[in-house]
Chain A
Amino acid sequence: MITFRMNGLEVKAEEGWTLLDTAKFYGLEIPTLCFHEGLTPHGGCRLCVVEIGEGLRSKLVSSCTYPAEEGLVVRTDSARVWASRRMMIELMLAMAPGSKVLQDMASQFNVTQVRFAIRNTECVLCGLCTRICAEQMDASAIGFQQRGLKRKISTPFDARSETCRLCGACMYICPACQLRCQGPNAETAICNGCLTMEPTCLEHYDDLQCWMYDAGRCGTCVQEKKS
């Protein structure tokens, strides 16, 4: 067993567990997008980032790929983690404003504006489709092409694939096309229709885990302000 600390709690992980596995086991929620239980972790969407280490040497790592280490100090909901997650949601929303998964996440994380030009590519390049195709369907009919700003997902040489069985697994797993959000405003790309709950407390407590997702929302961690 590997023992380390997560949000101030002492946790025990089995050999081979990632930080995300451990968090799930203990019921600590970490948002994910490109992660799926049946597929190898990719670490591309950067939503599951958590802060490890302390002081100047602390850094963000994707919890879905980072292995549990003896003596690690992990914080899943620090201000730094939140700032990154919100930016990732904003960046991905600008690519695929029609994705309900992303719009829900925007509501959940209080992302109320997209400050970038909308691209409407309707793909966030999370790679779930390529992995389900290769790992579960044993087809590898689609994959990543190019790099950087030319990166896209397609069949080899963009030709009709011989190995594709039209099983539809790629569409089933896609966070952008499986569910569509009808609400996004064309200009801001934000729906926020699901944003109904107001946090009871606006402070973030770096070392505590809030049981209602948004740190401070549930009110249980509210402490008297140190002057």
Chain B
Amino acid sequence: MKQYRAHLLVCAGTGCVSCGSFKIKEALEQEILKRNLQDEVQVVATGCNGFCERGPIVMVQPDGIFYQLLKVEDVPHLVEEHLLKGRPVKKLMYVTPAEKQPVPKMKDIEFFKHQRLIVLRNRGRIDPEKIEEYIAFDGYEAMAKALTGMTPQEIIDEILFSGLRGRGGAGFPTGKKWAACAKEKATPKYLICNGDEGDPGAFMDRSVLEADPHAVLEGMVIGAKAIGASKGFIYIRHEYPLALKRMEIAIAQAQENGLLGQDILGSGFDFDLEIVQGAGAFVSGEESALIASVEGRIAMPRQRPPYPAQKGLWGKPTVINNVETWATVPNIIRRGADWFQGLGTETSKGTKIFALVGKIANTGLVEVPMGITLREIVYGIGGGIPDKRDFKAVQIGGPSGGCLPAKLLDLPVDYESLTAAGAMMGSGGMIVMDDKTCMVDVAKYFLNFLQDESCGKCVSCREGTQRMYEIVKAITEGKGKESDLAMLEELAKITKDASMCGLGQTAGNPVLTTLRYFRHEYEAHILDKRCPAGVCKNLIRYVVLAEKCTGCQSCKKACPNDCIKGTLKDIHLIDQSKCIKCGACKEACKFEAIEEQREEAIQII
């Protein structure tokens, strides 16, 4: 194998690609060729690095130097300074927000320092399209161990003992699921990898599939041996083209190398995988709906029991696990259940990936040990709220999760604590909100998502989410009644109670948690017709502050509806009857002369 003195690891996750990381890679390659360094330096496209906020990202190994927010213009300078003269470029490094000091090494950056990488251990390190690189980092070692040296029962015992729980949301012990399926007599048995990630703001599964597809594949082969399956399906959303492409490459490479297909590693065990593209319905992530979707029927959940482990795909025993769960399995087999046991809390073992998004300084993908507090994630890894705003809430667990307030920041992140607080682990979306967020508006947003994504089978879920949306929408428009809150609570509880699947059973959470922790905001909307955060359009109005307005006309130019009057150097005026309350004028004003008024009750016209 060819030796290089340096590797440039260009992040090629979806986030960085959309910021132009392929162009950076191209420019780097050209520049290296120009300087005749092609035999000394290699450029590698890796999976998602996690720090999506700072893309495009390039890591220089072996020094471990982290470059962020690169532009094509920076490339010649970077190559010359760092690779020729050996001087890392300070102005392209991450700068600490407080001390304004550049941090050269990736491991010293706050965002990376507190993370514990197990599932994402290969992120930003290997080229996901090359099986050799995965194998070089102990890849397929666990599979070889499981296929040649372990009985199915031993594998199941190992997973059971490790305490691994499903990462898809509900947290059912994976070992128990496998054991239930293994003891079924019917054949053939099937495996499914659930990659139908539909939560707004979540990209955990996508990143795992993009950064380390072989880990998922390896986990599935181990699972297949444990339960005696010969065929597996990987269900990936059609909206994830990069993940689909990399998984296809991974499967083809594994088949070529005898790691998938007939007689894997000469052990006599056969297993093959097929990719199924989902059409993107959120409810397809529910396991019985996903099975229906794989079978080619409309994705509609059905009553469990019988569980898929007894009667699943085409009526045969089937194990369905989430992408993250499958990618954890090889690590447990390779390093042993004892090691995995040592991570996390009493009931929740191991690590969990979260997509940290919203009003947070360091947006990105983080993998943290279970039991870490929300404060450590938001303020430690996330770097707090930008623009010196105050933290208001964090929404955990996808659309049907819950909003937790500041007083719960010291809550440990594990399955039980989150459920007790009214939220849930879910698949790992974490949306941080600052004090400019209206919680009623947030509840409205998630209800709108749910009413659209409910499959529509159960009256409780279909009608319940629609009616809750209607009520919350009326509240945000200043048409709320005092009786609405009791009604909402009743409806949310019954929707949770009477619905069949996980979607309906959690659909009341956005309403229940916002009512539980932010009731005063609902009351302000209903009683005072006032939106405390200044978000709900019907309850605010934009005005020009005469003492601050310089008459620069930038608001006038920004207004899409031509409702701002005023000549140059004159105080401007907003025509309230024409104003559509888009807030463009406020954004455009450099002198903070435009304000949304929300203090007194504003007449609803």
Interfacial residues, chain A to chain B (CB-CB below 8 A): 42-46, 49, 59-62, 65-67, 69, 80, 83-84, 87-88, 91-92, 94-95, 115-117, 124-125, 144, 146-151
Contact = CB atoms under 8 A, between A and B. Distances in A.
Contacts of A69: 305
B464 A43 contact: no
Interface in B455-504: 455-460, 462-467, 470, 487, 490-491, 494, 497-500
Interface string B122-162: 00000000000000000000000000000000000000000
Interface residues of B, number: 33
A87 B491 contact: yes
A147 B283 contact: yes
B456 A148 contact: yes
A46 B494 CA distance: 11
Contacts of B462: 125, 148-149, 151
A148 B465 CA distance: 9
Interface in B243-278: none
Contact of B456 (A46, A62, A65, A146): A146
In order of increasing CB-CB distance, the 7 nearest A-B pairs are A151-B456, A65-B303, A91-B463, A84-B498, A87-B494, A148-B454, A46-B498
A148 B498 contact: no
B89 interface: no
Given A46-B459, A49-B498, A91-B464, 13 more contacts: A46-B458, A61-B303, A65-B500, A83-B490, A91-B459, A92-B463, A95-B463, A115-B487, A124-B459, A125-B459, A147-B452, A147-B453, A149-B456
B296 interface: no
A149 B456 CA distance: 7
B303 A148 contact: no
B306 interface: yes
A117 to B, nearest CB: 7
Interface string B557-600: 00000000000000000000000000000000000000000000
The prevalent SS among residues of B at the interface is helix
Nearest to A125: B456
B315 to A, nearest CB: 14
Q: Considering residues B302, B303, B463, B499, which has the most beta carbons from chain A within 10 angstroms of its beta carbon?
A: B463
A60 B458 contact: no
Contact of B451 (A65, A95, A148): A148
A164 B28 CA distance: 64
Nearest to A67: B305
A196 to B, nearest CB: 27
B281 interface: yes
Nearest to B281: A147
B456 A144 contact: yes
B351 to A, nearest CB: 28
Contacts of A125: 456, 459, 462
B454 A88 contact: no
A95 B459 CA distance: 11
A65 B302 CA distance: 9
A145 to B, nearest CB: 9
Contacts of B457: 42-44
Nearest to A88: B459
B456 A116 contact: no
The prevalent SS among residues of A at the interface is mixed
B44 to A, nearest CB: 42
Contact of A44 (B458, B490, B491): B458
Contacts of A84: 460, 494, 497-498
A69 to B, nearest CB: 7
B438 to A, nearest CB: 23
Given A46-B458, A117-B470, A60 B305 contact: no
A91 B497 contact: no
A87 B470 CA distance: 16
Nearest to A34: B459
B84 interface: no
A150 B498 CA distance: 21
B408 interface: no
A80 B496 CA distance: 12
A18 B51 CA distance: 51
A45 B459 contact: yes
Contacts of A95: 463
Contacts of B456: 125, 144, 146-149, 151
B72 interface: no
Contacts of B491: 87
A148 B490 contact: no
26 contacts: A43-B303, A45-B459, A49-B498, A61-B500, A65-B500, A66-B303, A67-B306, A84-B460, A84-B494, A87-B460, A87-B498, A91-B460, A91-B463, A94-B463, A116-B467, A116-B470, A125-B459, A147-B452, A147-B454, A148-B452, A148-B455, A148-B465, A149-B451, A149-B462, A149-B466, A151-B462
Contacts of A124: 459
B409 to A, nearest CB: 27
Interface in B280-310: 281, 283, 298, 300, 302-303, 305-306
